[in-house]
Amino acid sequence: MLEGKVVIVTGGAKGIGRHAAITSAREKAKVVIADINNELLERTSDELGRVTETLALTVDVRNEDDVKKMVEQTLNRFGQIDVLVNNAAIVPHFAWGIPRWPRIRDMEKAFWDRVIQTNLGGTFLSTKHVLPHMESRRTGHIINLYGGGGLKPAGACAYMVTKEGIRTFTRYVAEEVRESNICVVIFSPRVPIATEGAPEEALQRLPGPELLGNAFVLAAQLPMQQSGEIFSYENGRLVNEP
């Protein structure tokens, strides 16, 4: 289904990003994983390299030069970009039982900036720099990640500001590029996921990324009429979320 396509996954060295990369590789896509963690990047790259052609890049999605180089290196290696998965994010993972983030009154501006610039800014920069290539080919899929966080107890504000911003960003970009045949959607895991680094108790209690099955492969094939929409994965298929 994705054979011969080129997929970029930001934050692709671990967790949900790694799952998106692996499931794309199994469908014979060529996979680019971009991450800030070099150790995990090398490990995941070795794993993917046994399945498909892979390019591993050290990228800080907050840095526009890094993102531009990511796109340039992908094009130099593979000649095209068909799918972008904007997964890189700072996630609170409160469901793991770890300490909650500060309330806004107690939050350092540097922490706020880091969350906003990684989650929302990284989605913006990666989208910005793949779009000219996708528009020139008049084809492409962009999949942005959404996550939830409760109003109470406090702590989720910075994260949810980025995720609600990404929902709005997706809707608007989808309309900007609709005539260029680029499908831009949101994917929501819907439930908390335990990934590498989670406490053992959370790993036992919560599902892992495998719960998401082939969701990213399916999202990379959505038709244009569903651009701008939000999806989750259920019983082997994508379903629309309100």
The residues carrying an active-site annotation are 159
The residues, any chain, with a CB within 8 Å of residue 97's CB and separated by 6 or more, are 199, 201, 202
Whether the upstream peptide bond of residue 99 has omega within 30° of 0, thus cis, is no
* Separation between Cα atoms, residue 44 and residue 34, nearest integer Å: 11
Token digits for 94?
A: 């409160």
- CA end-to-end distance (rounded Å), the chain: 27
Q: Cα torsion for 205, 220, 242, 114, to the nearest 10°?
A: 70
